Structure 1
Amino acid sequence: MYTVPLPIIGTDMAWRDAAKRLIGAGVRPADILWDYGTGMGELFATATPLPPPSRKVKAPKSFVQMADVVVWHKDPQRFARLYDLLWRLRHQPGVMQDRADPELAKLRQMEKAVRRCQHKMKAFVRFRDLRQGGDRRSFAAWFEPTHHTVEPTAPFFARRFADMDWMIATPDVSAQFVDGNLSFHPGQPKPDLPEDAAEALWGTYFCNIFNPARVKIQAMTSEMPKKYWKNLPEAQYIHDLIAGAEAKVRKMQEAGPTIPPERVQKIKDQLRKRQNDP
């Protein structure tokens, strides 16, 4: 039995390296225990080290791309599922194109869930100004992702906010970008972040773009799940906006249509005349 400890930071490269060594040595899935971030692997691990790297190991590009995403899923069985499929690919290279394969379908669902979580992180991270002065602005944010998406998503923020220092803290992993260098650290409890004046401006903008005539609560909560509301400054306005939507729509209807401009009426008269001419 091989016990493979996997770190919380750098999980993707650690799993890929271990999987290549194990598959190259012909180690069966049933003979591997994947231990993610618990430290228990060192306690129960055998003295048998991982096999040396093998140059014979090859996997379809589609599998590698999928695995690089699925490793960030929260399912504790994700590593075993991926290795099971990698084992099967040795003798069934066409599995990656088999849409009816249940194990591949499950992994595809996990891949989709991770990508969705990454999308939500890009949309719902809200930075607060730390106001520490200096040549570069400094910001921090607290986020609670569904999956372990901080590490694969942080480069997006590094590109978008390259002109400032920032930190995204989460319960599992925290990302820091200082002087152009991105680094990752263990998670932490929610920090006591200062109030940010920009949040009031963001709230004003959110209220102004709210259209009471197009309220679809189910669609809104699908795009903005309630689990994120507690960390979104604009979420404090949602309840009142929804509660007052019906009254605002009624008021708009009672106001009635406005009188069309004179040129619009002339166009309508011309069209009506053409329709009546023989």
Structure 2
Amino acid sequence: MMQVVLPRIGTVAAWRAEVRRLAATGVPPEAVQWAVGDAADDLFNAAPIAAGRAVPLTLPRDAVLAIETALHHSDPQRFARGYAIVLRLARKDLRWGDRSDPALRRLLDQEKAVRRDIHKMHGFVRFREVTPPGANRRAFAAWFEPDHPIVEPAAPFFARRFGDMDWLIATPGLTARCETGQLEFFATQGCAAPPADATEDLWRVYFASIFNPARLMIAAMASNMPRKYWKNLPEADLIPELIRSAPARVRAAHDAMTSAPRRPPRG
């Protein structure tokens, strides 16, 4: 069996290049073992591969985007599944979007999970200021724990939105850093969140001000703001008390409205 080892940074681009190479020499999916980071000590790695007929790769653009998005999932089989689907699409053995196909349905479900995880990262990253004394640009850092390895596709959003400051977002796998507008990635060293700063009080004030006790739906809130993120959200420590006091606040608001004197009709 042939082993293809992909780098931890630029994984999807490297997979794309390997798929083109493998397809050009007709290597079947079952003959390839995919890994990320370090090569495995496998006696089958040196076994010769019986190449087949070259497969020209012409795929719909939406298929390419969806497949490459799904490759940011944490499933170890995602690279093998993606290569097999690419070959089947290129050979016209599979119609893109056919969810009756188990492999394609799984890929599409994983694409959706990755997109959701990216959306959560965009919404729940909380920067803390770490500007050193005398610096010309303000600097911020954040710690985030995604479900999938999504730092590379998620980070450009922050580079566009916060181009006027230097920032760093660390996750258990990779860290994204943007300094003077230049975005780069590297393996995370250590797993400590940055220290608290004054901006955390601003987040708490803002969250408390937009909390509407009359529209409290705990299940929906937990779905949109899963508890796994709470430990890194400064405003999350307000949630238990806001939930506890919501009924009393609703009653107080209702009593205030019903007891307020009505203005006489104009005539």
Shift of 1:260: 4.3
TM-superposition CA deviations, 1:17-54 (whole Å, max 9, x none): 111111121111110000122442799742879x9xx8
Aligned pairs for 1:32-47 (under 5 A) are 32-40=32-40, 45-46=45-46
Mapped contact 2:8–2:37 kept (Cα < 8 A):
yes
Aligned residues: 262
Post-superposition shift, 1:253? 2.3
Within 1, Cα distance between the matches of 2:124 and 2:100? 35
Shift of residue 71, structure 1, vs aligned partner: 1.0
Distance 1:59 1:46 in 2: 31
Q: Is the 8 A contact 1:4 1:41 kept in 2?
A: no
Ranges in structure 1 where 5+ consecutive residues have no aligned partner = 270-278
Task: Give secondary structure in 2 for the equivalent of 1:174.
Answer: strand
For 1:221-272, what per-residue CA distance to the aligned partner results, in whole angstroms no more than 9, with x for missing partners? 110000000000000100111011111112222324334445xx33xx8xxx
Aligned to 1:149: 150
Map of 2:175 onto structure 1: 174
User: Compared with structure 1, are the counterparts of its residues 41 and 69 closer, same or farther at alpha carbon in structure 2 (3 Å cutoff)?
Assistant: farther
Tell me the percent identity.
48
Q: Unaligned regions of 5+ residues in structure 2, if any?
A: none
1:2 matched to which residue of 2?
Answer: 2
Aligned partner letter, 1:131? T
Which residue of structure 2 aligns with residue 102 of structure 1? 102
3-state SS of paired residue (1:193): coil
For residue 29 of structure 2, what is the amino acid of its counterpart? P
State how far apart, in whole Å, the 1-side matches of 2:81 and 2:201 are.
46
8 A Cα contact 2:88 2:94, kept in partner: no
Correspondence 1:135 to 2:136? yes
Q: Give 2:255's aligned amino acid.
A: E
Structure 1 residues 251 and 259, CA, compared in 2 at 3 Å: closer, same or farther? same
Contact residue 55 and residue 87 of structure 2 kept, 8 A: no
Alpha-carbon shift at residue 98 of structure 1 (Å): 2.1
Alignment map for 1:250-261 (pairs within 5 Å)? 250-257=251-258, 258-261=260-263
TM-score normalised per structure 2: 0.91
In the alignment, the residues of structure 2 paired with residue 130 and residue 60 of structure 1 have an alpha-carbon distance, to the nearest angstrom, of 45
| Bigger Rg, structure 1 or 2 | 1
Residue type at the aligned position of 1:228: Y
* 8 Å Cα contact 1:170-1:189 kept in structure 2: no
The residue that corresponds to 2:112 in the other structure is 112
